[in-house]
Amino acid sequence: MEKISVGILGATGMVGQRLIQLLENHPWFEVKCVAASPRSAGKSFQKAVEGRWAMNSEIPEAVGQLKVLDVEEDMRQIADNISLTFSALNMEKTKIREIENAYADMGVPVVSNNSAHRWTEDVPMIIPEINPHHLDLIPIQQKNRGWNNGFIVVKPNCSIQSYVPIIEALKEFGPDQVIVSTYQAISGAGKTLETCPEIIDNVIPFIKGEEEKSEREPLKIWGKISGGKIENAKDPVISSNCIRIPVSDGHLVAVNIRFKRKPTKNQIIESIRNFKNPIDGLGLPSAPDPFLVYFEENDRPQTRLDRMAGKGMSVSVGRLREDDVLDWKFVALSHNTIRGAAGGAILIAELLKAKGFIE
Ligand SMILES: NC(=O)c1ccc[n+]([C@@H]2O[C@H](COP(=O)([O-])OP(=O)(O)OC[C@H]3O[C@@H](n4cnc5c(N)ncnc54)[C@H](OP(=O)(O)O)[C@@H]3O)[C@@H](O)[C@H]2O)c1
């Protein structure tokens, strides 16, 4: 099978690098264009990331030799050579919206890691295992904008991917109140332990904009399509505290949750273990099996031990206990730059291909 040519906007950054690592030897996709700011443009990719390649594997040879293009100046050239682009840009939101719109307008499907379009009414925000049906918004979006082959799909913030999948598995019990504390890795800020001295021996109780995202984005994911846009779900109500801790990768969360119909411990475990996954059977190369991993041990999941479950695409959960204030509490974990960013975006692209949205 001939592979689908893809581009990466923001290829030199933390998420861009992870995309390059995960797409090496991908059975369906091949990286043909890497693009970034004028600071990197014109250099070979290898040269552009000299001293800041943060992955634990070598730069794939073919990508290392690609010339980095300018996301804006070289737009036409990039669009003409790819059938889909991932966007991992980190710049002003209005500018990102403009750039992503321009690529879609030139016929390129865009799968974005950025928050710029998450609240655009006709742009679906997808976790493939939860709301693949929201892709039905794509033809509506194309009609609204007069786009033919191009469109934009976004993935949600990394912080929510550790707990929203667990709550999804428990939907039949009517979760209506959630309190979540996140313990987030510094790669979520595009940094490594070496480039973030302020986090050593420290905990930083503030991540700009993160609490709003972690409280609101799940409601769009659980929303329904109505009148050509997503109507947000009304519950559960979520209250969050987002905290940066000194780990390289992996967002751990502690969750307290109330239900309309309180389940038993066995019912919770059964629902997690028997999660009905809507993308099962599609043969998506990056889909983990199982999606949700339940731990009996008191001290799991742990960030360093468990973040790579399912090659970084599974969500782990444990420490399930009754809660005297709400009903139940648990701890969950996912890899923020794999499941929460690059891997999640690749899984969306695979879903788009399986559903016939990419030519
Ligand atoms: N890190 C995570 O865990 C995570 C998780 C979910 C979502 N996200 C989101 O993903 C996006 C990327 O995050 P990141 O951590 O990878 O950021 P990052 O490491 O700061 O990388 C940013 C990328 O954007 C490019 N860029 C910056 N200014 C530009 C400009 N004026 N024109 C063109 N390109 C420009 C940079 O190119 P140069 O190298 O040339 O400057 C670089 O390739 C962000 O929106 C972030 O919120 C991140």
Does 169 lie in the same domain as 145?
no
Same domain, 182 and 281: yes
220 belongs to a structural domain: yes
CA distance 285 to 221: 23
Q: How far is the CA of 239 from the centre of ligand 1 (A)?
A: 27
How does pLDDT run across 147-169, given as a tens digit for each residue?
A: 999 999 999 999 999 999 999 99
Determine the pLDDT at residue 359.
78
For ligand 1, is residue 37 a contact (CB within 6 Å)? yes
Residue 115: inside a domain: yes
The reported pLDDT for the residue numbered 1 is: 79
**90 CB within 6 A, ligand 1:** yes
| Ligand 1 binding pocket includes 190 (Cβ within 6 Å) | yes
Pair 217, 328 in one domain: yes
Residue 359 lies in a domain: no
From 8, 9, 14, the mutation candidate for ligand 1 (largest count of ligand atoms within 8 A of CB) is 14
Q: What is the DSSP string of 96-130?
A: HHHHHHHHHHTT-EEEE-SSTTTT-TTS-B--TTT
Residues 126 and 190 occupy one common structural domain:
no
* DSSP category for residue 340: I
Q: Do residue 151 and residue 163 come from a single domain?
A: no
Q: Do 128 and 210 share a domain, yes or no? A: no
- Report percent pLDDT > 90 for the chain: 99
Nearest CA to ligand 1 atom 41: 37
| Average per-residue pLDDT for the chain | 97
Question: Does residue 73 share a domain with residue 104?
Answer: yes
Span from the CA of 15 to the centroid of ligand 1 (angstroms):
7
Number of H helices, E strands in the chain: 11, 14
Q: Strand pairing partners for 292? A: 315
Q: 266: Cβ–Cβ under 8 A, 6 or more apart, which residues?
A: none
Full domain range(s) for residue 55 = 4-157+342-354
What is the tens place of the pLDDT at every residue in 4-27?
999 999 999 999 999 999 999 999
Residue 303 falls inside a structural domain: yes
Decide whether any atom of ligand 1 lies within 6 Å of the 35 Cβ: no
Tell whether 204 and 91 lie within a shared domain.
no
- With respect to residue 30, please indicate whether it lies within any of the assigned structural domains: yes
**What is residue 268's predicted lDDT score, i.e. its pLDDT?**
98
Whether 105 is in a domain gets the answer: yes
d(CA 91, ligand 1 centre) in Å: 7
Whether residue 327 sits in one domain with residue 204? yes
Q: How many independent structural domains does the chain possess?
A: 2
Q: What is the CATH number of the domain that holds 277?
A: 3.30.360.10
277 touches ligand 1 (CB under 6 Å) = no
Above 90 in pLDDT, residue 282?
yes
Q: What average pLDDT does range 37-54 have in this prediction?
A: 97
- Per DSSP bridges, beta strands 315-322 and 328-334 are antiparallel
Stretch 169-192: mean pLDDT, rounded?
97
The confidence score (pLDDT) of residue 321 equals 98
**Residue 82 located in a structural domain:** yes
Q: Is 293 within 8 Å of 315 (Cβ atoms)? A: yes
Q: Is the pTM of this model over 0.95?
A: yes
The catalytic site residues sit at 158, 251
Compute the distance between CA of residue 194 and CA of residue 51 in angstroms, rounded to an integer. Answer: 11
What CATH number does residue 80 fall under?
3.40.50.720
d(CA 14, ligand 1 centre) in Å: 7
pLDDT tens sequence across 303-349: 999 999 999 999 999 999 999 999 999 999 999 999 999 999 999 99
- Whether residue 182 lies inside any domain: the answer is yes
- Residues 121, 185, single domain; the answer is no
The ligand 1 atom at the shortest distance from the C-alpha of residue 68 is 40
Whole-number Å distance between alpha carbons of 176 and 253: 18
187 lines ligand 1 (CB under 6 A): yes
Same domain, 120 and 230: no
11 Cα: distance to centroid of ligand 1 (angstroms): 8
Question: Closest ligand 1 atom, CA of 95?
Answer: 31
Residue 337 CA: which ligand 1 atom is closest? Answer: 3
172 and 285 in a common domain? yes
